[in-house]
Amino acid sequence: MNTQTNFDMVLFGATGDLAMRKLLPCLYQAHVAGLLHPEGRILGVSRSELDGAGFLAKVESNAKIHIKQNFSDSQWASFIKRIDYLTVDVTRAEHFEALGEKVKARRQTENVVVYLSTAPKFFAQACENLAKVGLNADNVRVVLEKPLGTDLQSSQQINTDVAKYFKEEQIYRIDHYLGKESLQNLLALRFANIMFEPLWNNKYIASVQLTIAEQLGVEERGEFYDITGALRDMVQNHLMQMLCMTAMERPASLDADAVRDEKVKVIKSLKPLTVESVNENVIRGQYTAAEGMNGYLQETDVPAGSFTETYVAIKAEIENERWAGVPFYLRTGKRMAGKVAEIVLNFRDLDSHIFDGSQTAPNRLVIELQPSESVRLYTQVKTPGAGNNVEPTALSVDMGKEIPGRRQEAYERLLLDVINGKLALFNRRDELEAAWEYVMPILENWAENTQAPHGYPAHSWGPEAARELLARDGNRWHEEQ
């Protein structure tokens, strides 16, 4: 893909962690790969009173260190020529006048991207002030960082506020999981091959597991994490997107709305949870001290006795023809035994066996999104020698090795898509709100529930209760299979 669309990117929160660690390094990679229009400009914006040179000094010290590949002094020198800076306090309408002037002064600009990498509490005011200076015209796109709200109501409020000034097709709601090559590859696996789709249903699949496990703990981010928790941080957005991509019907095309229509249908087909059914189907966990590591409650800035979950497991059901009766187990956690994001499809067993049964195990397809990008299909092969034994063996493809080539980081892909006006990998309002609607009974149950989260030792695979959640259906988590 070669993008040569001219652009002005107004980067709010330019002095912040996300801009320095991800956004600017990803724009640098796009620059080196020749994917940015030569005239494309990046205008850093934040509250700090800096001039262009002062901001560049920050970029030198805070962003450059995050460029892990393709660095050269000459490329860096040409990249930073794109960068300028303006002090704009979101809460001060008068600051936007200079911003409007600066952007409009560039007559050749084809489109303007306003990236709001700031706290969501600023979104409404930023959009209102942008509109006052005409920076909501049809050639302007606005990117909203997560979290988009903390519950259904606050999410609806943000969406309603932003919609006063921007049309839906101008709004790019980021979920960086959607920018991951491996998640997009899932659609190719399903819809560009003949052999998977016919089996991709309740006739052949017994259960599905979706996992995002982190080994890191909360560490210094206790203050942020304690008011967020794993459900808001990972389930409502990333796990829900993985679920949609796994379970959706084939879209009519890869056009943004065709894909997003199918994803919304999945979320709306989920069997709604109730405050009562949460007790049966959702496990709230919290890591405890082990192997010399702190438990969650010992982490810096975590309030004593906090019930905030660092682990969630959910048994979800999709009430449509394709998936009726197939449990979808979703889980995410911090301080787990491994760092992995994967989708596991457990196929049904054969009706009868002619090979020696004690060693037969149903087929299993494992799609690993990270750390490696791979697909493993566990099949039965005959054990060499006399006898009729079979044993599970993985047919395995490691995309990184088999299909060499530069892998774009999720944020690079997404930034380029915004510049090029491609909405497919961004959340639509109805999709996001449907996901909030699904998790709301969990939040409501937990707000009332006086039972402490289930403990699990740091660097384990989660609480015993999550094991029981699957055992009840005769199932086991992937690492135990």
Specify the stretch interacting with ligand NAP by CB under 6 A; choose among 86-94, 180-188, 260-268, 297-305. Answer: 86-94
CB of 262 to ligand NAP, least distance (A): 26
**Using the rule CB under 6 A, which residue among 8, 13, 136, 213 binds ligand NAP?**
13
CB of 165 to ligand NAP, least distance (A): 17
Q: State how beta strands 41-46 and 140-144 pair.
A: unpaired
Tokens in use for 263? Answer: 């994803």
C-beta neighbour count of 443 within 10 angstroms = 18
**Using the rule CB under 6 A, which residue among 24, 27, 30, 90 binds ligand NAP?**
90
- Grouping H, G, I as helix, E, B as strand and the rest as coil, residue 186 is helix
Distance CA 7, CA 140 (A): 10
**Alpha-carbon dihedral sign for residues 472, 473, 475, 477:** negative
Distance CA 134, CA 59 (A): 29
**Is 238 among the residues known to form the active site?**
yes
CB of 465 to ligand NAP, least distance (A): 29
**Alpha-carbon dihedral sign for residues 169, 174, 178, 180:** positive
Tokens in use for 304? Answer: 């004593």
CB of 189 to ligand NAP, least distance (A): 27
Distance CA 53, CA 134 (A): 28
Is 176 assigned a ligand-binding role in the annotation? yes
Q: How far is CA 253 from CA 191, 276, 413, 420, 424, in A?
A: 10, 39, 20, 18, 11
**Using the rule CB under 6 A, which residue among 146, 268, 459, 476 binds ligand NAP?**
146
Specify the stretch interacting with ligand NAP by CB under 6 A; choose among 12-20, 68-76, 202-210, 364-372. Answer: 12-20
**Residue whose C-beta lies closest to ligand NAP:** 16
- Grouping H, G, I as helix, E, B as strand and the rest as coil, residue 68 is coil
Tokens in use for 212? Answer: 């995002």
Tokens in use for 189? Answer: 């696996």
**Alpha-carbon dihedral sign for residues 233, 237, 243, 246:** negative
Is residue 18 a contact point for ligand NAP (CB under 6 A)?
yes
**Using the rule CB under 6 A, which residue among 4, 6, 48, 139 binds ligand NAP?**
48
Output DSSP code: residue 318.
B
Q: Which of 146/268 has CB closer to ligand NAP?
A: 146
Is residue 170 a contact point for ligand NAP (CB under 6 A)?
no
**Using the rule CB under 6 A, which residue among 39, 89, 181, 317 binds ligand NAP?**
89
CB of 356 to ligand NAP, least distance (A): 51
Tokens in use for 295? Answer: 């438990």
Output DSSP code: residue 200.
-
Residues 104-123 interacting with ligand NAP (rule: CB under 6 A): 117-120, 122
Residues 247-266 interacting with ligand NAP (rule: CB under 6 A): none
The residue count of the chain comes to: 481
Q: Which of 14/283 has CB closer to ligand NAP?
A: 14
Q: State how beta strands 140-144 and 282-288 pair.
A: unpaired
> H or E segment at 95?
helix 93-104
Is residue 91 a contact point for ligand NAP (CB under 6 A)?
yes
Is residue 52 a contact point for ligand NAP (CB under 6 A)?
no
Is 180 assigned a ligand-binding role in the annotation? yes
Q: Total number of residues binding ligand NAP (CB under 6 A)? A: 23
Is 402 assigned a ligand-binding role in the annotation? no
Distance CA 216, CA 399 (A): 26
Is 17 assigned a ligand-binding role in the annotation? no
- Grouping H, G, I as helix, E, B as strand and the rest as coil, residue 4 is coil
Catalytic residue among 31, 66, 238, 459: 238
Residues 25-44 interacting with ligand NAP (rule: CB under 6 A): none
Is residue 17 a contact point for ligand NAP (CB under 6 A)?
yes
Distance CA 150, CA 457 (A): 28
Specify the stretch interacting with ligand NAP by CB under 6 A; choose among 14-22, 337-345, 417-425, 468-476. Answer: 14-22
- Do 159 and 148 meet the contact criterion of CB atoms below 8 Å apart? yes
Is 90 assigned a ligand-binding role in the annotation? yes
- Residue 4: closest CA among 31, 42, 41, 36: 36
- CA R_g for the chain: 24
Is 334 assigned a ligand-binding role in the annotation? yes
Is residue 47 a contact point for ligand NAP (CB under 6 A)?
yes
Q: In the stretch 457-476, what mask flags binding to ligand NAP with x, by CB under 6 A?
A: --------------------
Specify the stretch interacting with ligand NAP by CB under 6 A; choose among 87-95, 183-191, 291-299, 352-360. Answer: 87-95
Beta bridge partners, 336, equal 460
CB of 22 to ligand NAP, least distance (A): 6
Q: State how beta strands 83-87 and 111-116 pair.
A: unpaired
Is residue 381 a contact point for ligand NAP (CB under 6 A)?
no
Catalytic residue numbers, as ranges = 238
Instruction: Report the binding-site residues.
Output: 47, 89-90, 146, 176, 180, 214, 233, 334, 339
Instruction: Report the binding-site residues for NADP(+).
Output: 47, 89-90, 146
Instruction: Report the binding-site residues for substrate.
Output: 176, 180, 214, 233, 334, 339
| Positions that interact with ligand NAP (CB under 6 A) | 12-19, 46-48, 88-91, 117-120, 122, 145-147
